Amino acid sequence: MTATAITLRIAQRDDAQAIALMSRDLIEAGLGWKYEPERIRRAMNDRETVTLVACDRSQLVGFAIMEFGEERAHLVLLAVRPSHRRHSVGRRLIEWLVDSVATAGLASIHLELRSSNEAARAFYRAMGFTETILVPGYYRGKESATRMVRVLRVPGPLPFNWRPPTLDKK
C-alpha cells in the first residue's frame, strides 16, 4: 500500500455498516456500541454533516464524520484501520476536513477523545489541535475525555471581503 493508492470520497449509503463496525471496534471498544449503522446513516443524511471515507482500492480503511455549525465544526468520529495507520490516511482525512471548514468560513474545529489515547492526542497535536480541558466520565461515565480545538480564525462575523486562507500543506 502506498499513500497515493488511498482515495478520499464522500461516504455512500452502503458504507454505513463498515463505518459503524470500525467505530465499534476502533473507537467505542469497551464502552458499548453507540454509533450503529442506522445512526451513521442519519449522520450521512444530515445536511450539516460530512462523512468522509478513505479507501485502499475498494476497501474502506478510514473515515471521519464532522458536523458543521454556524461558527465551529465538531469532529464526531475519526478512525483508521490499524493496517493503514502511519501511512498518512488520518492526516489526509483531517486536511480535507480542515480545508472544508476554512472554506466554509468557520472559526474552529472541536473534538473529544479518550484521555488515555496518547497516540491520538499526539496525532491531533501534530495536526494543529490544542488540548483545552479534561472532562471526567465523558464516555458513558467510564472514561475521561480530552477536548481539543484547532482555531482557524478569530470568531465573529466575517468581513465582506473575506476569502479562505491558504492552508499550509505539510
Give the residue numbers annotated as catalytic, written as ranges: 112, 124
- Compute the distance between CA of residue 128 and CA of residue 170 in angstroms, rounded to an integer: 11
Cell of 80: 483508521
